[in-house]
Structure 1
Amino acid sequence: MRSNFLTARRLVALGLGLSVSFGLQGAALGQYGTLKGQVVWDGAQLPQLEPKVKAGENVKDAQVCATEPIPDESLVVDPSSKGIQYCIVYLARPRGENPDLAKQLIEAEPQVVVDQQGCRFVPHVAAAHEKQQVLFKSSDPVAHNVRLQGFSNSLNFMLPANGELPRVLSPERRPMPMACDIHPWMQGFVMVFDHPFFAITDEQGNFEIEGIPAGKQNLVIWHEKVGYVTAGGARGQEVTIASGKESTLAPVKIAPSQIK
């Protein structure tokens, strides 16, 4: 977890539509806040997705790829909290900057690792700052490839067994699909940002973004089975960040009817 740059006075709950303006002047003076929230499943029944590969199935490199079931991670819902994992949460065109936050992020994690492990991408969804390397690697004793297609990045390269290859990627406007053509069930997403205000929801669907310039910002939540979850599409939905405080969104819900 990225450490906060503030001595914390915790918690004022703010809904998505609540608006209190602090303006960019406060942000320029180093006034920042934290945004927390949760993305949850709004269906009575949890989705039940069949594994992409069953144990013992006759697939390419089955001695590695079919030793155990490979789950379909396109819609991962926690049974207890109904939280949805692997949503990408970020600010669209942030108003203001936080150079210290970006520096700390890059120093703490100079590389974001995307592994090919058990014939699946780990993690299924990754996000990086443009100044972080993305290290594509394979922990498998068989060859893979990595194919990425975005607006600013187009890559397709081989990874030998237990190989690795670092790449510096350009910022993207949307998450890039990631695939291995040798094992076509292997799919995931990578998004690259030119700012540090992003997160990926955890196993309980929670996210936290610290060090956001105070004032009005536009928040985007994206999920691969829905697209843009929040209103406003790629422009985002307006939220207000309170200086020196932790703002918590009302739970963001995904209904079964939204799934594509």
Structure 2
Amino acid sequence: MHYLRYSAMAAALLLAVSGAGVSAASLKVLDQQGKALTDAVILVDGVAQRPALSTSMDQIDLQFQPRVLVVPAGTEVGFPNGDNVRHHVYSFSPTKPFELRLFHGSEAPPVTFEQSGPVVLGCNIHDSMIGYILVTDSPWYAISNPAGELDLEHLPTGEVLVSWWHPTLGDAPPVTLGSMDLHSSQNLTLAVDVGAEAAAEKPLSPLQKRFNKAAGKYAN
């Protein structure tokens, strides 16, 4: 897979509301066009460890659920299959190459992600399936929802050092923003190309290569 790499993109912090009179802090993540950005991962260092959000990557309706999963390094992740068809999950990512051959339900063993970095997931059987696991050493993290909003629970008051990552960055590491006060209501605008991910070429597994070769052989 030819991953899109981060190249000198600027990240601008825009204050949506002044701190005065704000009853509850909020952070909303936007793309360069001002639209809500989903699946943006915000990582915070120098704070207490937050409880794990999830340690499971399901397959539902021929899609990975959640599409983006963040886990601390050393986490054991389960891959339950909620569909009524078999899946064959794999990763060629240097962070964690692995393969879970055709399985139903909870037949697949969990996978331990020992080192930090991004992992891109695919399915041997269903080319449209793609998911992401970001393994991190940061003690606190959150993922923006479809409205671009993040849960700021368990953060201490004051400024914190923040990094961010998004699937459009491919195998690039998180990018540091610097100190931010996440306890006033703010918009965070990140320089990402939301169309680049769809244009990226997903790696073919050995099974898919054999299938494509056979299909080409008998096409005529």
TM-score with structure 1 setting the length: 0.56
Does structure 2 retain, via aligned residues, the 8 Å contact 1:17–1:239? no
Cα displacement (A) at 1:202: 0.7
Whole-Å separation in 2 of the counterparts to 1:171 and 1:137: 22
Q: 1:32-74, CA deviations, whole angstroms, 9 ceiling, x for partnerless residues? A: xx98421224438xxxxxxxxxxxxxxxxxxxxxxxxxxxxxx
Does structure 1 retain, via aligned residues, the 8 Å contact 2:59–2:83? yes
Aligned to 1:89: 42
Corresponding letter in the other structure for 1:83: A
Whole-Å separation in 2 of the counterparts to 1:238 and 1:38: 17
Aligned to 1:190: 133
Corresponding letter in the other structure for 1:168: T
Whole-Å separation in 1 of the counterparts to 2:164 and 2:143: 9
Q: Secondary structure at the match of 1:137?
A: coil
Aligned length: 176
Q: Secondary structure at the match of 1:43?
A: coil
Q: CA RMSD in A?
A: 3.4
Whole-Å separation in 2 of the counterparts to 1:184 and 1:87: 23
Does structure 2 retain, via aligned residues, the 8 Å contact 1:137–1:159? no
Once the two structures are superposed, the pairs formed by residues 1-260 of structure 1 within 5 Å of their partners are 16=13, 36-43=26-33, 82-91=35-44, 94=45, 96-98=46-48, 101-102=49-50, 105-106=51-52, 112-130=55-73, 132-163=75-106, 164-173=108-117, 175-212=118-155, 217-225=160-168, 234-241=174-181, 246-254=183-191, 259-260=195-196
Q: Specify whether residues 36 and 176 from structure 1 end up closer, same or farther in structure 2 by C-alpha distance, changes over 3 A only.
A: farther
Cα displacement (A) at 1:155: 0.9
Q: Specify whether residues 40 and 227 from structure 1 end up closer, same or farther in structure 2 by C-alpha distance, changes over 3 A only.
A: farther
Identity %: 21
Gaps (5+ residues) in structure 2? 1-11, 16-23, 197-220
TM-score with structure 2 setting the length: 0.64
Corresponding letter in the other structure for 1:89: I
Cα displacement (A) at 1:159: 4.2
Q: Specify whether residues 129 and 240 from structure 1 end up closer, same or farther in structure 2 by C-alpha distance, changes over 3 A only.
A: same
Gaps (5+ residues) in structure 1? 1-14, 19-33, 45-81
Q: Secondary structure at the match of 1:225?
A: helix
